[in-house]
């Protein structure tokens, strides 16, 4: 008897269960000690690995680990320290400017508000979502390129863009699972379903959800 591909509801249930078995604990991959250091670390992680960011931030925190001190550090000095993360001219300006804004407009505190976060220099929707979920514990589903790719491979979204993928995932998964699940998917993508390591026909979740899939699953870029 032919094995059938799982229905969407079955895929959602299997993914939730398997990821919980594999990753019962989900430590935040970026080293930080408070909302400000997390915000800066996430900003630095754009087009850069978390490992590299974690190598760079200790030297940055020695310069300044809070908005008041960072606002006084010359942009050139910040740029020098964060150069290994790439895009250092833009990122150093953003870190300096957002630190000044936090001091001048938010009493030196990171706002616990999505819309306010998104107005800060260098802070897009994904960065704001990470801070809201991981620093403040509000339900959010930050979608990066890895989550975007896996959601398509697992048939959870049409994958037109990351905004659509985020909407689709929020609709499919319980709100109280979002913060943990977004990290579980990232961990699984790195370990088993990477861009080159799996094409939709290799890893356990892909083959369980789609046992009849014969050809690689082409994914649309974010």
What DSSP designation does 105 have?
Answer: H
- Verify that 107 and 155 share a domain, yes or no: no
Do residues 6 and 209 lie in contact, with contact meaning Cβ atoms separated by under 8 Å?
Answer: yes
Do residues 120 and 99 lie in contact, with contact meaning Cβ atoms separated by under 8 Å?
Answer: no
- Verify that 39 and 131 share a domain, yes or no: yes
* Annotated catalytic residue within 91, 144, 199, 218: 144
124 dihedral zone (left: phi>0; alpha: psi -120 to 50; beta): beta
Q: Which of 79, 86, 75, 13 is nearest to 45 (CA)?
A: 86
Residue 145 has what pLDDT? 87
* Annotated catalytic residue within 4, 31, 126, 199: 126
164-207 residue pLDDT tens? 999 999 999 999 999 999 999 999 999 999 999 999 999 999 99
222 assigned to some structural domain? no
Q: Which of 47, 54, 7 is nearest to 154 (CA)?
A: 7
CATH number for position 55: 1.10.340.30
Tally of domains within the chain = 2
- Verify that 191 and 112 share a domain, yes or no: no
Residue 2 has what pLDDT? 62
- Verify that 132 and 56 share a domain, yes or no: yes
Ranges in the chain, pLDDT < 70: 1-2, 222
Range of the domain at 183: 8-26+142-209
In sequence order, what are the residues at sequence separation of 6 or more whose Cβ sits closer than 8 angstroms to the Cβ of residue 200?
Answer: 153, 206, 210, 213, 216, 217, 219
- The question of whether 144 is a catalytic residue gets the answer yes
- Verify that 43 and 116 share a domain, yes or no: yes
The C-alpha atoms of residue 136 and residue 139 are separated, in whole angstroms, by: 9
- The question of whether 176 is a catalytic residue gets the answer no
The C-alpha atoms of residue 208 and residue 152 are separated, in whole angstroms, by: 15
């Amino acid at each position: 008897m032919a094995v059938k591909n799982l229905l969407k509801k079955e895929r959602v249930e299997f993914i939730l269960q398997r990821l919980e078995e594999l990753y019962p604990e989900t430590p935040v991959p970026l080293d930080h000690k408070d909302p400000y250091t997390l915000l800066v670390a996430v900003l630095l992680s754009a087009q850069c690995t978390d490992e590299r960011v974690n190598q760079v931030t200790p030297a940055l925190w020695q310069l300044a680990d809070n908005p008041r001190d960072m606002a006084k550090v010359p942009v050139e000095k910040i740029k020098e320290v964060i150069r290994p993360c790439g895009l250092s001219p833009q990122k150093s300006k953003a870190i300096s400017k957002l630190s000044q804004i936090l001091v001048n407009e938010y009493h030196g505190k990171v706002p616990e508000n999505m819309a306010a976060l998104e107005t800060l220099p260098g802070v897009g929707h994904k960065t704001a979502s990470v801070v809201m979920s991981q620093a403040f514990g509000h339900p959010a589903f930050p979608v990066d390129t890895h989550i975007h790719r896996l959601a398509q491979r697992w048939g959870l979204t049409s994958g037109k863009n990351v905004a659509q993928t985020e909407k689709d995932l929020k609709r499919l998964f319980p709100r109280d699972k979002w913060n943990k699940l977004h990290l579980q998917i990232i961990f699984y993508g790195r370990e088993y379903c990477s861009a080159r390591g799996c094409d939709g026909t290799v890893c356990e979740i892909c083959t369980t959800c789609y046992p009849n899939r014969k050809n690689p699953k082409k994914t649309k870029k974010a």
